[in-house]
A and B are shown apart, each in its own frame.
Chain A
Amino acid sequence: MQLTAGTQLVSQGTPPTARTAMEQKNTVRLKGRKVLIIDDDRINIRILASILQNEGYLITEADTGEKALELYEGLKPDLVLMDVMLPGIDGFAVCRELRARFGDNAAPVIFITAKTESDDIVEGLAAGGVDYIPKPFRRKESLARIRIHLQNKILNEQQKALVDQLKTANQAKNKLLGMAAHDLRNPLASIRGLAEFLRDGTVGQLTPDQLDLANTIFETSQSMLTLLNELLDVATIEAGELKIHKEPHNLADLVEKCVYLNNINAVRKNTKIVYSPPMEAPIVRMDQSKIKQVMDNLLSNAVKYSPPGSTVNVRISGFHPAFNVAVQDQGPGIPENERHQLFKDFMTLSAKPTGGEKATGLGLAICRKIVEAHRGAITATNLPKGGCEFSIMLPA
């Protein structure tokens, strides 16, 4: 069964629609399904037809490949039974043609073959056939094979419809999320700004108790703004609107600047970020603002999860055509059973910030999406001496 990325949602949330489709698995209705039989031998057709009609299948027949192709589009059969040797184009060619015209939507083709020679079977499967039925027909075997492939086809269709449904629902969710975050942002920014005016005394001196309240309002609205910004990022990225404007830049300059800025906050925790420049100037085609976002996230995480007084090491390595930035912290590392969740949306793991900082659980998910949009990779490795190394690889 072909599963696309969207199918993962089923295992995560099990929405009601998914459950219904799964329950249907055992009760797929096969009666009334349309089967197209292509054979130039009328006796074969008659035998197959009588076997199938007893089961309630609807039969259409064709005695050449050309006729079958003509009939196919109007009929839209659920399954095709096809003889190999036909007067005009042969069964393999018809099968290939159906694949070419209808792709994955083409009905499964089962070859009817007198010769049980493996060459024939292999060629049939290579042409896109799903199975073969040997002549002379054994009723039970033929029916069993047909039933399995019909069931597969129907389940596949249900799966596809379900994936489409979930994709639409996911898009609607992202749109709503985006709108909500967007509309909440301006008022929050004003609340934060007004609280800032209160606490810095511009509009009059506050008592210590009042100052404490103003500080709380400021900090709370600040962390809500961060959360909203990350929600918006996720929503736009998921909606496929992550616009990357790649231009060649020196990665080392960018990293150095980020280290400098993050050190200002790190000092409050008595933590130091130490940067070792690379041997070669790492010129990378990248979206500066997005990669800066990734670096800020990795650096602030490293500070956030390391105990006060730690040292965070940042190192650029690699040569053209790919460069690496590694950020090593002195935090608790990532428990083995949480590794797989690390880069997923809304995943805050058991590790807690060591200085009361906030974690939204979206930062690393956004980092992964940005790095992947640059055709790069992001990884996390626990270090033998303790702590964790986050590393991004970016192609030049």
Chain B
Amino acid sequence: MKYEGKILLVDDEAHVRKFIGLILKQLGATTIFEAPNGKEAVEIYQRESPNLILLDVNMPIQDGIQTLREIRALSSECAIVMLTSLANRQTVEEALSLGADNYIRKDTPKDEILAALRQTIAECFTAE
């Protein structure tokens, strides 16, 4: 299954963007935008309207929760997957209640991340 939608990958750490970026390529993605913080993410969102957003929680300048709020205020169309470092129940619950579709812990083995992303894509896009 190839994913041909536009993807926005938001994380302040370059190594995470590189790692998750490779997973996205394995997923078949061809159009990937990257942002190191929430502020730039919202700017790219407004310009490019990506279909899937991978959003880190802890970031400088503007964190993931605030970014989630702003993007969800603009649209409920795109799928948003939060990238977390520790499974922090509260943060995860808050993100899901604010309209995130799923969350992935960044220390998950790559094949599991791949599977979780495929599942989210299947749930969010095949119904249409």
List A residues at the B interface (Cβ < 8 Å).
182, 185-194, 196-197, 202-203, 225, 232
Contact = CB atoms under 8 A, between A and B. Distances in A.
Contacts of A225: 107
Contacts of B69: none
B106 A189 contact: yes
Q: Classify the interface of chain B: helix, strand, loop or mixed.
A: helix
Contacts of B15: 186-187, 190-191, 194
Q: Classify the interface of chain A: helix, strand, loop or mixed.
A: helix
B107 A186 contact: yes
Contact of B22 (A182, A191, A194): A194
Given A185-B107, A202-B26, A194 B85 contact: no
Interface string B62-86: 0000000000000000000000011
Interface of B: 13, 15-16, 18-19, 22-23, 26, 85-86, 106-107, 109-110
A190 B13 contact: yes
B109 A186 contact: no
B2 to A, nearest CB: 15
Nearest to A245: B89
B101 to A, nearest CB: 22
A91 to B, nearest CB: 56
A235 to B, nearest CB: 12
A186 B26 contact: no
A232 B86 CA distance: 10
Contacts of A192: 109
Contacts of B109: 192-193, 196
A187 B15 CA distance: 7
Contacts of A197: 19, 22, 110
Contacts of A187: 13, 15
Nearest to B56: A186
Nearest to A194: B19
Nearest to B85: A186
A186 B16 contact: yes
B110 A186 contact: no
B22 A186 contact: no
